[in-house]
Chains A and B, each alone.
Chain A
Amino acid sequence: MPDFSLVAVAFYNALSPDQLFITLWATLLGVIIGMMPGLTATMGLALLTTLTFQMESGSAITALLGMYVGAIYGGSRTAIILNMPGTPASAATTLDGYPLARQSRAREALGLATIGSLFGTLVGVLLLVFTAPLLAGYALKFGSYEFFWLALFGVVISGRLTSMDDPLKGWIAGFLGLIIAMVGQEQVFAYARYSFDYQPLTGGVSLIPAMVGAFGLAEILSNITGSKTPIIAENKGRILPRFRELLRYSPTIGRSGVAGTLMGLIPGVGEDIGAWVSYAIAKRFSREKEMFGKGSKEGLIAAETGNSAAVPGAIIPVLTLGIPGSAPSAVLLAAMVIHGIQPGPLIMIQSAGMVYGVVAAIVLSAIAMTLYGILLTSPLLLVLRIPRERLLPIIFVLCVVGSFAIAAREFDVWIMLAFGSFGFVLRQMNYPMAPLVLGLVLGEILDKSLRRGLILSEGSLEPFLTRPVSAVLAIATLASIAAIAIAGFKSLRPKKQG
């Protein structure tokens, strides 16, 4: 059970003027970043990490959480007004949000999305409060065998779900991330792998510059290359949804909140899948299935509740296992480590207050996000009128300076440029970036756990397959690979003509 006295203390601290101020500006910045097509939550978090690393750890994490919550929500503004998801998490929102805007009900759609996001976050937070202590307690029993499978499961499932049409590309991106994580000194013999006697490489590839490149520069290049300017839908009508309407959609909100949180919990899956799964479930249970895709309010609420619920969901494994639930939470994990916070199974014993501090920060960010969404709808939409030709070079300067600022070395800027250019090429061919980033984060855990596990078992694979949690994760991972591999090998056979 959660310690409610600690929850109360966390809220008391989060309501102090300085923390409240941080929550307000970070959430607003997040909403603005999420609104801009091409600027994602991951990019915003990675850039903000470089700007907050000199702050006190609690304040920095509050700022990053505000950015995370705000950016995932901000994407809905663009999805509804421009038919262009501000972040990938809002892709499902375009299906019904934009048709509503085209019916001159844009403000109604923006209001529904705001309320859906608020309730989604609150459902996710409730599940975080109740499941984090349980999961952390259970994870104390985990050994190298379980952590090896968790890392591999994360990369495989992330590759599978972020590249539904072509899981092979998701896995390739995941393996690339894992391989890049192998660069630098390993932990058993302190041997510098793939460093070619080049000193900066012996420390490995820095996570934040790599993420700034993969999500920042790659986005900038993809965005500026596109030669069409977006068309903005008319923004008029009532913004606050009626209570009766909310009551009518409350089962959808509840279902989508739980589904989104569960999707967030699965390592590497995250907010976009959270939205799609919630949307699919809502459609299945809906009495107005035929309206989905044509301006269904229920579809819009489901998508927005789902992606926002996935935010606290993705933070659960970050805090309790040290394994990110999504790409933005991978940045959050890296930022926590930079700030000296060590997430993992011991967190509820060593710093339970920090976990509830995260809870309080998310709740206050969600409230701030709701206020911005309702009170500042029109001024916020003015941001969409800033030409990308003027905005993108400014973002790039922040990418460069931010990457440099972490360790004051130019090598990190080169890492950012390499990941950005490479990421740009991969994106054009539909390779997802989330498994790449997840591979980068999980590479060390995978290597350490595999080798330690084999040392402990004297080379035997038996404990990897027979311990209960290991067995479940092994079956899930191998079944996922086998299902796609069988389909893949079938496609190797030439098709008969006619």
Chain B
Amino acid sequence: MTNHRLDRITGFVFALLGAWVAYGAWRMPRFEDRGAQLYETPGFTPGLLGCALALCGLVLAFRSAGPNGQSREYWNEVMGSSITRRRALAAVGLTLGYGAVLFGSVPYLIATFGFIFCFIGIFELVLTPVDKPQRSASVPQVLGVAAAIALVVAFTTQYIFKTLFLIQLP
């Protein structure tokens, strides 16, 4: 997908978002019973900002292609090759999996150990960079290092936050 096409799509998304923000602002209470004027109402500023965002979105959607409009740089950055695509998906999956699912529902030490161990294992053994196809360390060595780092980080962060800062980690 070209940069111009991606800009056009995101332009429409921002225009819709801006329109939704402005509509939400319009639906907010006006407090007329308290003698409020339009410019005092809670929806006044968000309404203006929503309109501004919608206008910017429309300009982005309908403008002609710029100097790098026909390039596929934005798309290729992540989706261009199978390795970048897989690395991006794995990174998003692992970080969201740890932050949104494991953190809070699984004991902190187990969740953190599991996340760091899997992250290092996956990115060092499976999804290696294209210019670094040869591993200098064996699989057990990498997994050993991953386990050691995961253990140290899990216990150290728990000690810092729980014992020193008195924060009850989940």
Interface residues of A (CB under 8 A from B): 51, 54, 165-166, 168-169, 171-172, 175-176, 178-179, 182, 186, 188-189, 191, 193-194, 217, 220-221, 224-229, 387, 389-390, 392-394, 396-401, 404-405, 408, 410, 413-414, 416-417, 420-421, 424, 428-430, 446-447, 450-451, 454-455, 459, 488-489, 491-495
Contact = CB atoms under 8 A, between A and B. Distances in A.
A166 B59 CA distance: 12
A177 B58 CA distance: 18
Interface of B: 3, 6-7, 10, 14, 18, 21, 24-25, 28-29, 31, 34, 36-37, 39-46, 49-50, 52-53, 56-57, 59-60, 62-64, 66, 74, 77-78, 81, 83-84, 87-88, 91-92, 94-96, 98-100, 103-104, 112, 115-116, 119-120, 123-124, 129-132, 145-146, 149, 153, 157, 160-161, 165-170
A123 to B, nearest CB: 37
A175 B57 CA distance: 11
Contact of A178 (B49, B83, B112): B49
Contact of B60 (A168, A220, A227): A168
B166 to A, nearest CB: 8
13 contacts: A176-B14, A176-B53, A193-B24, A225-B77, A226-B129, A227-B87, A393-B115, A397-B116, A397-B153, A414-B100, A424-B92, A454-B37, A493-B64
B60 A224 contact: no
A454 B132 CA distance: 61
Nearest to A172: B56
Nearest to A417: B99
Chain A CB within 10 A, most for which of B92, B116, B130, B149: B92
Nearest to B10: A429
A402 to B, nearest CB: 9
A221 B103 contact: no
Contacts of B10: 429
Given A182-B45, A393-B115, A430-B74, A228 B131 contact: yes
Contact of B46 (A51, A182, A404, A408): A182
Given A224-B91, A229-B131, A408-B168, A175 B84 contact: no
B145 A390 contact: yes
A226 B28 CA distance: 44
A428 B95 contact: no
A217 B78 CA distance: 16
B109 to A, nearest CB: 11
A171 B36 CA distance: 31
Contacts of B56: 168, 171-172, 175
Nearest to B95: A396
Contacts of A165: 66
Given A186-B42, A193-B28, A417-B96, A394 B167 contact: no
A20 B67 CA distance: 51
A179 B49 contact: yes
Given A228-B129, A428-B78, 11 more contacts: A179-B21, A193-B24, A194-B24, A227-B83, A393-B120, A397-B115, A399-B99, A400-B99, A401-B157, A454-B37, A488-B59
A414 to B, nearest CB: 7
Nearest to B76: A428
A181 B28 CA distance: 16
A451 B28 CA distance: 16
A229 to B, nearest CB: 5
B168 A451 contact: no
Contact of A488 (B37, B63, B91, B96): B63
B91 A189 contact: no
The SS class assigned to the B binding surface is helix
Contacts of A54: 165-166
B40 A188 contact: yes
A202 to B, nearest CB: 13
Contacts of A447: 45-46
A221 B91 contact: yes
* A-B residue pairs, 9 tightest by C-beta: A393-B119, A389-B123, A454-B39, A447-B45, A191-B42, A182-B46, A225-B88, A175-B53, A224-B91
Given A179-B21, A429-B7, A491-B64, A420 B77 contact: no
A420 B96 CA distance: 10
Contacts of B44: 450-451
B169 A400 contact: no
A383 to B, nearest CB: 15
Contacts of B168: 408
Given A221-B88, A228-B129, A413-B104, A394 B95 contact: no
Contact of A410 (B34, B103, B132): B103
Contacts of A396: 95, 98-99, 115, 119
B124 A389 contact: yes
B40 A221 contact: no
Nearest to B130: A227
A226 B167 contact: no
Contacts of A404: 103, 167, 169-170
A203 to B, nearest CB: 16
A333 B28 CA distance: 31
B63 A492 contact: yes
A221 B90 CA distance: 10
Contacts of B112: 397
A492 B6 CA distance: 17
Given A175-B49, A454-B39, A227 B84 contact: yes
A225 B120 CA distance: 14
A191 B45 CA distance: 13
Contacts of A220: 91, 95
A205 to B, nearest CB: 13
B7 to A, nearest CB: 7
